[in-house]
Amino acid sequence: MLKKHLATVLVLISFFMWTSTALAAEITVQKGDSLWALAKKHGTTVQKLKEINGLTSDFLQVGQTLKIPDQKNTESKEAAGSKESASRGSQSRMDSLIKFATSLLGSKYRHGGESPKGFDCSGFVRYVYKQFGVDLVHSSSGQFKGLSEKVDKADLTAGDLVFFGSSSKNINHVGIYIGNNEFIHASTPKTGVIISSLSESYYSSRYQGARRVISD
């Protein structure tokens, strides 16, 4: 009987030691936080954050409390992961980004706007990417010049930014490529946020190039 009791105590001690190691801290979500940024900051993964917090969505609310896994434990698991798994994680991130961007279809156009109350083209791009831990300038020409990774039109993938203007020195419009030769953008005060085709004559004649924001 005593041996059974001691064995139970040892099991409980081991469990609590594992718990305190696996969950090193709790944080409160602040304005501008995203799962991607928090995972990078605390040396863990988005999937791990979602698992230990029981999250089914990639989006957070200000004031929300999150458990942060132990960094050493996470690093050892990540080291054992394959390159293929990392690629799938990156693809999942882009899938979530495109899903979030398309959820804003129909939002109003507002010059200088960068919130669901109203967007201009670069404000829309900035708002979408900010939810995923990337802070871009609020300027289509600034995004074009500031992002260094150029992408050929034939190599476009979902999440790439596509730029338009009368020349490469006069960029005045930007959108997010979503696949199938289409992009989502805050177009005009009349249409708001819509999906357009790169094949449309207006855009094909003004297309000046693309940039990749997040690499694999």
Mean pLDDT, contiguous 10-residue spans, the chain (216 residues): 52 47 71 74 80 80 85 47 42 86 96 96 96 93 95 96 97 97 97 97 97 84
First to last CA, the chain: 57
**Catalytic-role residue among 5, 42, 111, 173:** 173
pLDDT at 63 (0 to 100) = 87
Same domain, 111 and 167: yes
Distance separating alpha carbons of residues 17 and 113, to the nearest angstrom = 50
Classify residue 45: in a domain, yes or no. Answer: yes
Same domain, 9 and 40: yes
Looking at the 3D structure of the chain, how many domains does it have?
Answer: 2
Clarify whether 185 is annotated catalytic. Answer: yes
**Catalytic-role residue among 5, 111, 121, 138:** 121
Classify residue 176: in a domain, yes or no. Answer: yes
Q: Can you say whether residue 184 is alpha, beta or left, with left for phi > 0 and alpha for psi between -120 and 50 degrees? A: beta
Domain that holds residue 13: 2-81
CA 173 to chain centroid: 21
Residue 215's CB: how many other CB atoms inside 10 A?
Answer: 6
- Which residues make Cβ contacts (< 8 Å) with residue 103, sequence separation at least 6? none
Classify residue 35: in a domain, yes or no. Answer: yes
Residue 189: what residue type? P
Classify residue 145: in a domain, yes or no. Answer: yes
Classify residue 216: in a domain, yes or no. Answer: no
Same domain, 157 and 200: yes
pLDDT at 31 (0 to 100) = 74
pLDDT at 7 (0 to 100) = 52
DSSP category for residue 116: T
